[in-house]
Structure 1
Amino acid sequence: MKSCTFPRSRFRLFSLLFILIICKNTAFGFAPKREFYQIKIYHFKEDSQRQRLETYLKDAYLPALHRAGIKKVGVFEPADEKDSLLYVLIPFKSAEQFLSLPQTISKDKQYVTAGRDYIETEYNNPVHAGFESVFMEAFAGMPAFKAPALQSGPSERIYELRRYEAASEKLHENKISQFNNGELAIFSRLGFNVVFCGQVKAGGKMPSLMYMSSFENKAERDAHWKAFGSDPAWTKLNAQPEYAHNFLRADIYLLHPMAFSDI
């Protein structure tokens, strides 16, 4: 009985084809797809505006986003009550979903009815004093939004939003590389409960990136940053000369979630 043998040359050929298929799949479909994020920062001048805006967000806007397939939307107020602002964080699966959202919710009859005060607001009695919009693409190192599982009450929780500005596009990309190649792993190991990391594609203060971490309370937040600052892996990573001067400034915003926020 003859033994069945597989020619070595053919084995090498099949091995090469297998590797090529794996590489192609990784590059064109199997690599994690990066999400997109919008942060809307509403400004208001008086309490009546804030009350109307909260009613709109709670009763009209968030339910409409849920019906449009966006299940987790964050709504936050500054921990410092002196700031007359509300922050809304919206994760999108694609840029197309972001672009089509206004048309999608405009066809939602429940939204149009519940949001009438906001939609039909008079020019001399506006619901807000304007809003900023920042549009971002997720980092390769954290391609998807992650809602934390915090146990404390909304008024105790701290969501820390940071914005890093750089002096040039090259240095900005370098800071993102630092996140992807070590900094995010340190955050994860130390339990920072990172919600998202995004490269700003449209908005003020560019080039910049934004990310959000979350904590049970202010004391826990402070303890985590103290541990981060003395962490050997961070000390080593931050001392690498290729990451020198990769941001000019960091703006830090400490936020509490609203009672009706999804996160």
Structure 2
Amino acid sequence: MLRPILFIFVLFFFKYTYGQNEIYELRVYEMEFFKPANILHDYFEKALIPALNREGVNNVGAFEESGETLPKKIYLLISYQNMQAHQDVTDALKNDTQFKLDAQTYWETPSEKTPFKRIESIFIRSVSGFPNLDKPADDSEFFELRIYESHNEDALRRKVKMFNDSEFAIFNDVGLNTVFFGENISGNQMPCLTYLLAFKNKEEHEKAWSKFGPHPEWQRIVKLEEYKNAMNDISRIFLKPLTYSQL
């Protein structure tokens, strides 16, 4: 009698510990003009990221856009084992005495000195073909964030399948180093998927993409009826890591 119960427990543990896809929270801080961002950087580096690390949330990415785009934006990428882990960590930070102490200066900043206008919080669920965040090489200094929009949910399903079945392998072949990949579950560009690529520099980025189009497997799958009209828009944002980024 004990053995069947133990077996059921193992299956339950595997499903809810390892069988779930990761959840990524991508926070986008839209900065105010002419307001120094030091207070926000200090909050990330000395309060929020250390507190997340204490809760087992590692490899927190912090980026700014490459180039002189306006308004300036800061991107924070936080990965969780699952959605329940996100809720647990959020609750834990509310009771973290050290975090409260470290974040005090940021929290007490008056509204007229707050360096950002708003925060957009986007949640993304990883897919079976790329279930876990992959920390890039330490010398990665050039990142590309890509968002693929589809005209409906089934079109997005087909595009995700295209990646799961073939495109991830092509990416590996040509040097498109994926950091995370997932299907958005919230945000203002739904339905869509989002992924992040890492490179040593812009030259490595251009070299890798130049190999993608002519790749024989891409040439095969792009002609398949199953994948026609699977997406209708692409957004791409070039990023560079901030000094305290863990990616």
1:37-57 deviation digits (Å, cap 9, x = unpaired):
010000111354422111111
Mapping for residues 100-249 of structure 1, pairs under 5 Å: 100-151=88-139, 157-249=141-233
Letter in 2 for 1:250: I
Cα deviation, 1:60-110, whole Å, max 9, x if unaligned, reads 111111011111100011012324100001110010111233221121112
Find the counterpart in structure 2 of residue 55 from structure 1.
42
2:177/2:197 contact within 8 Å kept:
yes
1:78 and 1:30 map into 2 onto residues whose CA distance is 35
| Deviant stretches of 4+, over 4 Å | 27-32
With the length of structure 2 as denominator, give the TM-score of the two structures: 0.89
TM-score, normalising length from structure 1? Answer: 0.84
The equivalent position to 1:86 in structure 2, one of 50, 57, 74, is 74
CA distance in 2, matches of 1:133, 1:161: 15
Instruction: Tell me the amino acid that sits aligned with residue 255 of structure 1.
Output: L
Where does the alignment leave 5 or more consecutive residues of structure 2 unmatched?
Answer: 1-10
In terms of mean alpha carbon deviation, does 89-98 or 112-121 score higher? 112-121
Question: Counterpart amino acid of 1:174?
Answer: R
Amino acid in the other structure paired with 1:161: L
Aligned residues: 236
- How far apart in 2 are the matches of 1:262 and 1:30? 24
Amino acid at match of 1:100: D
Residue 198 of structure 1, CA deviation: 0.9
Question: SS at 1:124's partner residue?
Answer: helix
Deviation at 1:28, TM superposition (A): 5.0
Residues 76 and 258, structure 1, Cα contact 8 Å, conserved in 2: yes
Contact 1:56/1:115 (8 A) holds in 2: yes
Task: Give the aligned partner of residue 44 of structure 1.
Answer: 31
Q: Distance in 1 between matches of 2:128 and 2:114?
A: 40
Q: 1:129 to 1:30 in 2, by over 3 A?
A: closer
Q: Which residue of 2 aligns with 1:15?
A: none
> What's the CA shift string for 1:219-245, capped at 9, x where partnerless?
110111110011111111111111011
Partners in 2 of 1:114 and 1:47 — Cα distance?
25
AA of the residue aligned to 2:85: Q
Q: CA deviation at 1:31?
A: 7.3
Residues 46, 127 of structure 1: CA spacing in aligned structure 2 closer, same or farther, 3 A cutoff? same
Partner of 2:211: helix, strand, or coil? helix
State which drifts further: 65-74 or 105-114: 105-114
Amino acid in the other structure paired with 2:45: K
Q: Name the counterpart of 2:60.
A: 73
Point out the more displaced range, 47-56 or 77-86. 47-56
After superposition, the C-alpha distances for 1:13-49 in whole angstroms (9 at most, x for unaligned) are xxxxxxxxxxx89x95797531110100001113544
- In the aligned structure 2, how far is the partner of 1:240 from the partner of 1:220? 30
